[in-house]
Amino acid sequence: LAQERPTFSSHARKKRGTAPAPTNLAAGMSAKASKASKNADSINARLQLVMRSGKYMLGYKTTLKSLRHGKSKLILIANNCPALRKSEIEYYAMLAKTGVHHFHGDNNELGTACGRYYRVCCLSITDPGDSDIIRTLPGME
């Protein structure tokens, strides 16, 4: 009771092994990704300049204090900040007429961008120093 295996022609074998032709979709996605990464690099560079030459406050409590005293010029919030905390900061910023930028990274990445080895949920920039971060960030969103 020997079973016969079906035979394939050489044409069928070649056709089975070919991959579909690449589409131009990947090129469009990489252009968007590179623009977003350049944008993030620009934000990180400006933020590092603020850390070197300006004045800032890291953390939720000190950010709220600076907003209440009217000292904040710009607020940066990590994208994984809890919703209630984020809305409270946005409300205080609206009352203080201060710009808010939603950082396109989580609190680990925001802490790293600030040059710290810990997580930073939000930060308040009180004096930008040599950086032009206040003029550029609110218009970027």
* Sheet with 74-77, side-by-side order of all strands: 55-58, 122-127, 74-77, 99-102
> For the chain, how big is the Rg over CA atoms in Å?
25
pLDDT tens digits along 49-103: 999 999 999 999 999 999 999 999 999 999 999 999 999 999 999 999 999 999 9
The pLDDT of 121-139, averaged and rounded, is 88
Contacts of 47 (CB under 8 A, 6+ apart): 76, 113, 114, 131, 133
